[in-house]
Amino acid sequence: MSTDTLIDSFQRCIEYVRLSVTDRCDLRCTYCIPKDYKDFHEPEHWLTFDEIERVIRAFTELGVRRVRLTGGEPLSRGKLAGLAARLGRLPHLDDLSLSTNATKLKKLALPLKQAGVSRINVSLDSLKPQRYAEITGGGRLSNVIDGLLAAKAAGFQPIKINMVVMKGINADEIADMVAFCIQHDFTLRFIETMPMGDTGRGAVDHYVNLQDVKRELAQQYDLIPAVMPGGGPARYLRVAGTDLRIGFITPISQHFCETCNRVRVTVDGTLYTCLGQENNVELRPLLRAGISDGELKQAIIQAIALKPERHEFTTQPGKIVRFMSLTGG
């Protein structure tokens, strides 16, 4: 394996890190965190900003060019804009982005943009206030809309809306979400439910095959193949006559493991090489034991060599016990 490029044993180039800065969230989405869940990592187990910068610097020196800040809800971590500014100054990092529920984005959009975050993804599963509250465990839709408008005013481009499509819950809002994104010049991404933790497995009862959604949309719109920057797993189509791009993230109906280019680092410094497997290396104990930068990079290289070929969501749906919030999706 090259010392300046991370190539796994299946010849996939790893150039994207999803970094969870907290496992806590102010919402309780039905497919993510149980309503009464309190078993979060204690702050003393969180990577400090110095430790985070050191880990991400090591990754960038090994060829990683994209970092996405995730959670839990990343805006729940104090002084996040300061961390973003530190990461944005790393010489080899080309793209710093953020995934958020946007409930706190109204006040933080401009500071984050000024700190160097260029793109944001916002979780939004309903445009109906009461339904949104039911899905999120009490969230206020108006806070999300305010956050989105603040992000638009701050100059984020693109702004991607992530909608987990669920039968009997929000699947009837697909057309409304398309219209909303056309109106506001947002990119729209539909996501299939995944069997992660008890909440994720419960959501599988509401699973919608996005191949069916794609066929239904094709009857209403002229859909043209498209691409989007970002290095993520979505496959895009553009609605002819508009700027709207619709992405389909299909871990169940059409998995994308053969082109997986990403790994995940949790708030406590655990490096997961696959969202749907348990393969991991704990970096925090190594950091706090005084590991050198060279040894840190070697630990990362060894972890990437263990990255599995694919997840097993369909063959072993009960395998992953951790909740989605732990690794940030």
The per-residue pLDDT for range 204-252, each reduced to its tens digit, is 788 999 999 999 999 999 999 998 877 688 999 999 999 999 999 988 8
According to the model, what pLDDT value does residue 256 have?
A: 72
Give yes or no for residue 155 having a pLDDT over 90: yes
pLDDT at 36 over 90: no
So what's the pLDDT on residue 95? 96
Going across the sheet that includes 119-123, the strands are 223-226, 235-239, 245-249, 187-191, 159-164, 119-123, 95-100, 66-70, 16-20, 262-265, 270-272, 280-282
pLDDT for the residue 67: 97
Q: Looking at residue 328, what is its pLDDT?
A: 65
Judge whether 275 and 324 are in contact, CB under 8 Å.
Answer: no
pLDDT digits (tens, 9 = 90+) for 89-143: 999 999 999 999 999 999 999 999 999 999 999 999 999 999 999 999 999 999 9
Q: What is the pLDDT of residue 277?
A: 81
Higher pLDDT, 297 or 275: 297
C-alpha to C-alpha distance for 163 and 184, rounded to whole angstroms: 16
CA distance 103 to 111: 15
Residue 102, Ramachandran bin (φ over 0: left; ψ between -120 and 50: alpha; else beta): left
Contact 141, 64 (CB under 8 A): no
Tell whether the model's pLDDT for residue 293 goes beyond 60.
yes
Name the nearest CA neighbour of 107 among 137, 150, 138, 78.
150
What domains can you pick out in the chain, each with its CATH number?
A: 6-327 (3.20.20.70)
**In terms of pLDDT, which residue wins out, 227 or 183?**
183
What pLDDT, on a 0 to 100 scale, did the predictor assign at position 276? Answer: 76
Q: What average pLDDT does range 49-55 have in this prediction?
A: 98
Beta bridge partners of 18: 68, 264
Percent of the chain predicted with pLDDT > 90? 76
Mean pLDDT for 28-44 is: 84
- At 313 the pLDDT is 57
What percentage of the chain exceeds 70 in pLDDT? 90
Give me the chain's average pLDDT, please: 91
* Continuous segment of H or E residues that includes residue 235: strand 235-239
**Which residue type sits at 264?**
R
H helix or E strand, kind and range, residue 136: helix 129-136
- Let me know how long the chain is: 329
